[in-house]
Amino acid sequence: MEKRLLVLAAFIGMVSLMFAFRSGQGNAQNSIIQGGITGKVSPPDGGISVWAASTTDTVRGLISSVGSFSLQVKPGTYRLFIDAKEPFKDVTLENLEVKDQPLDVGEIVLQ
């Protein structure tokens, strides 16, 4: 009798966990961020990381080996920072308006 109760309790626990994770996935789909900032750094090995900051949000991303980057951000106005390797200088882009579609800032040439 005790063995049956233990098996039943384990089964109920597993079913509860399955539904808990399932409902979390549904909520995640509803909160997908559609806006973003994309671009490319030249030379490709001149940048370390990229940051986008607004009054309510800050996101950091890495620059790929080919110089491209992509940040997922909420719609709003952002300042973009490119953290450059020496001897290059950091770059800041101001007042970037992100809407529901990704904003491509194009090629950023490091000096």
Convert the pLDDT of each residue in 54-101 to its tens digit: 999 899 999 999 999 999 999 999 999 999 999 999 999 999 999 988
What is the domain range of residue 12?
1-32
Reduce the DSSP state of residue 65 to 3 states and report it. coil
- Number of structural domains in the chain: 2
Q: Do 9 and 44 lie in a common domain? A: no
More confident: 34 or 96: 96
The whole-number pLDDT of residue 35 equals 84
The whole-number pLDDT of residue 16 equals 46
Q: Do 42 and 27 lie in a common domain? A: no
Q: Do 40 and 71 lie in a common domain? A: yes
Q: Do 27 and 41 lie in a common domain? A: no
Q: Do 24 and 43 lie in a common domain? A: no
More confident: 71 or 23: 71
Q: What is the pTM of this model?
A: 0.69
User: Assign residue 25 a region: left if phi > 0, alpha if psi is -120 to 50, beta otherwise?
Assistant: alpha
Q: pLDDT band for position 2 (50/70/90)? A: low
Reduce the DSSP state of residue 61 to 3 states and report it. strand
